[in-house]
Amino acid sequence: MASSDQTQTAVLGALSIMPMTGYALREQIRDTLGHFWGESFGQLYPALTDLERAGMVEREGAGEGRSSRFAITNAGVTRLRELLAEPPQPTRPRNGMMLRLFFGRQLGPEACRRLVLDAREQAEAQLAAMKAARNDLQQEHHLTQDVPYILLTVSAGEHGARATIAWADETLAALESLPPTSTKDFS
């Protein structure tokens, strides 16, 4: 039980969609959940070991030369549903860009502008990634049960990205009219 509930939820969830190796799991979590979930990969294999010991996942096809894939068991599905039913535990927000803008008087308008431009670019990239994800999901016929739910998170990503872009454009305009901070200008 070294691994946290949070990590177990992500791992069991991913394996509930399809069995895969630890390596593939890592990639799926990075690439597919990446927009709203990050994992500490140093805990991933320990978590798999824990879950295996607890009978919630099984290795398939080990022994021969082939590498083993992990699959969720019935007990694992039960546990996953328990975990999902618990209220999400809120995580401490830490938005470095917002912190810098808030104290932007010390940083100056020019540096703020760069931060906002950067955020805008990231949002554009995210919008493109969400579009690509929509496309990919239509191809994956073996996921039909999961796709409607996954699309909800894709849609959230799109709404968020569009909001960021709109905000960035407004903000860039507002920053134009701000005077630079003088070096001695603090109380």
| 38-46, 108-116, 151-159, 167-175 -> range binding DNA (CB under 7 A) | 38-46
Regarding 121 and contact with a copy of itself (CB under 8 A), the answer is no
Which residue among 55, 95, 121, 140 contacts a copy of itself (CB under 8 A)? Answer: 95
Alpha carbon distance 32, 159 (integer Å):
17
Binding-residue pattern over the window 23 to 62 for a copy of itself, x denoting contact by CB under 8 A? ----------xxxxxxxx----------------------
Helix axes 44-53, 22-31, angle to 10 degrees: 120
Joined together, the tokens standing for residue 120 give 């805008």
- Give the binding-site size for a copy of itself (rule: CB under 8 A): 70
Q: With binding defined as CB under 7 A, does residue 4 bind DNA?
A: yes
Shortest reach from residue 14's CB to DNA, in Å = 13
C-alpha 112/C-alpha 172 separation (Å) is 9
Cβ closest to a copy of itself, residue 66 vs residue 184: 184
146 exposed, middle or buried (CB, 10 Å; 0-12, 13-18, 19+)? Answer: middle
Measured CA distances, 178 to 67, 124, 127, 128 (Å): 59, 26, 30, 32
Residue 127 gets the label, from left (phi > 0), alpha (psi -120 to 50) or beta, of alpha
Q: How far is CA 109 from CA 47, 102, 171, 179, 182, in A?
A: 46, 11, 11, 7, 11
Query: Segment contacting DNA (CB under 7 A): 24-32, 98-106, 134-142, 171-179?
Result: 24-32
Residues 51-90 that bind DNA (CB under 7 A): 65, 67-68
Instruction: Scan for tokens 């932007």, then name that residue.
Output: 104
Binding site for DNA (CB under 7 A): 4-7, 21-24, 26-27, 38-43, 45-46, 48-49, 65, 67-68, 92
Binding site for a copy of itself (CB under 8 A): 6, 9-10, 13, 16-18, 33-40, 72, 77, 80-81, 84-85, 87-107, 111-112, 115, 145-146, 148-153, 155-156, 159-160, 162-164, 166-167, 170-171, 174-175, 178, 185-187
